[in-house]
């Protein structure tokens, strides 16, 4: 059975088909603003590739509770029923985008990830994946038969605050502008820009997240300071997730922002902040952290789920 796979983020839409090896094949990517709605994206993919899927598995950057979906950081709304009717599919599965990334973890190849610090994974332990993009996605993969059971969350919206004296004035400025400070408000692409303004004051030049990471790689002092603080907070949040799920199978960072600051994640600040959760430093020291280097892990997770559709009665 041919299945269309989609990873629909707030910024980009990735579409592919299940390949002969069960992994995504023929992937194409569109910027979200280039298309008016999801049906237009799928129709263009089918027209350009000549693919004729009979089912779809779609990972969406939004909470998924039922057949109707409204994307969190994009104006698109759609339902699985309407998509199936429009394209003649016999079934459609809608899942959260980071649920799909969690489902990908058992199927990632050796060169799809790289370690960030030490630790040794328990192959039977829970795993957690999180990643900053336009928002902040969080999901877990709990041990179970057939590769595990994915748990989508809204962990990007938990509250976040300072843990050291030098962070206090930064968070004070964030509270002045935002009121409620969530993890996503800082640990995301837009959050990186907010953090830069809060760290350096309102008089600083307004820079976007791509500018900040690019200038940081050239050694710009202000941008380096912003990215280093971001990495510290990123590591602390990763440690929080490891404790919440007792993720002895490992903690995985994904998303475009994480890949753009990979050199900074290799520095000691990330693991130091990850482990600095007394009295559980010893537990966290043993938990490995990794960066997902693959651009489309969500599609790999969709493909893993698609394999089960072949055994679903029509």
pLDDT tens, residue by residue, 44-77: 999 999 999 999 999 998 889 888 888 877 888 8
Q: Is the pLDDT of residue 228 over 90?
A: yes
Residue given tokens 């380096």 in the structure block: 224
Q: Is the pLDDT of residue 312 over 60?
A: no
Q: Is the pLDDT of residue 10 over 90?
A: no
User: Residues near 36 by Cβ (< 8 Å), separated by ≥ 6?
Assistant: none
> pLDDT > 70: what percent of the chain?
96
pLDDT band at residue 179 using 50, 70 and 90 as cut-offs = very high
User: Residues near 297 by Cβ (< 8 Å), separated by ≥ 6?
Assistant: 100, 101, 104, 108, 112, 254
Burial code of 178-197, b = ≥16 C-beta within 10 A, e = fewer?
eeebbbbbbbbbbbbbbbbb
pLDDT of residue 281: 97
Nearest CA among 7, 23, 3, 26 for reference residue 106: 23
pLDDT band at residue 203 using 50, 70 and 90 as cut-offs = low
pLDDT band at residue 101 using 50, 70 and 90 as cut-offs = very high
pTM metric for this prediction: 0.91
pLDDT band at residue 310 using 50, 70 and 90 as cut-offs = low
pLDDT band at residue 205 using 50, 70 and 90 as cut-offs = low
CATH architecture assigned to 109-292 = 3-Layer(aba) Sandwich (3.40)
* Rounded distance between C-alpha atoms, residue 289 and residue 297, angstroms: 17
Contact 69, 17 (CB under 8 A): no
Instruction: Answer left, alpha or beta for residue 121, where phi above 0 means left and psi between -120 and 50 means alpha.
Output: beta
pLDDT of residue 127: 97
pLDDT band at residue 147 using 50, 70 and 90 as cut-offs = low
Instruction: Answer left, alpha or beta for residue 92, where phi above 0 means left and psi between -120 and 50 means alpha.
Output: beta
pLDDT tens per residue across span 109-133:
999 999 999 999 999 999 999 999 8
Pairing of strands 24-31, 136-142: unpaired
What secondary structure letter does DSSP report for 135? S
Give the CATH superfamily of 3-102+296-309: ATPase, nucleotide binding domain (3.30.420.40)
Range name among 5-14, 97-106, 161-170 with the lowest pLDDT average: 5-14
pLDDT of residue 145: 59
Q: Where in the chain is the domain with CATH 3.40.367.20?
A: 109-292
Region 185-189: what's the mean pLDDT? 95
Q: Where in the chain is the domain with CATH 3.30.420.40?
A: 3-102+296-309
């Amino acid at each position: 059975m041919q299945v269309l796979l989609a990873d629909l983020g707030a910024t980009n839409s990735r579409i592919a088909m299940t390949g002969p090896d069960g992994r995504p094949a023929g992937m194409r990517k569109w910027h979200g603003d280039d298309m008016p709605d999801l049906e237009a994206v799928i129709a263009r993919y089918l027209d350009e590739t000549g693919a004729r899927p009979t089912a779809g598995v779609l990972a969406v950057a939004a909470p998924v509770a039922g057949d109707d979906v409204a994307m969190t950081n994009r104006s698109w709304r759609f339902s699985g029923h309407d998509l199936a009717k429009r394209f003649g599919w016999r079934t459609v599965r809608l899942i959260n985008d980071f649920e799909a990334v969690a489902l990908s973890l058992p199927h990632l190849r050796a060169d799809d990830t790289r370690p960030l610090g030490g630790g040794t994974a328990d192959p039977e332990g829970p795993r957690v994946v999180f990643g900053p993009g336009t928002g902040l996605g969080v999901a877990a993969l709990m041990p179970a038969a057939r590769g595990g059971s994915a748990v989508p969350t809204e962990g990007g919206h938990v509250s976040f605050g300072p843990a050291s004296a030098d962070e206090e004035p930064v968070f004070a400025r964030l509270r002045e502008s935002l009121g409620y400070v969530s993890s996503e408000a800082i640990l995301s692409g837009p959050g990186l820009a907010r953090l830069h303004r809060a760290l350096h004051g309102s008089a600083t030049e307004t820079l976007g997240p791509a500018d900040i990471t690019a200038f940081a790689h050239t050694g710009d002092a202000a941008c380096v300071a912003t990215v280093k603080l971001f990495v510290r907070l990123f590591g602390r949040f990763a440690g929080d997730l490891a404790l919440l799920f007792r993720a002895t199978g490992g903690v995985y960072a994904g998303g475009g922002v994480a890949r753009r600051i990979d050199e900074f994640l290799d520095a000691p600040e990330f693991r130091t902040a990850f482990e600095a959760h007394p009295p559980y430093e010893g537990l966290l020291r043993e938990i490995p952290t990794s960066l997902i280097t693959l651009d489309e892990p969500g599609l790999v997770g969709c493909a893993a789920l698609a394999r089960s559709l072949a055994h679903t009665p029509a």
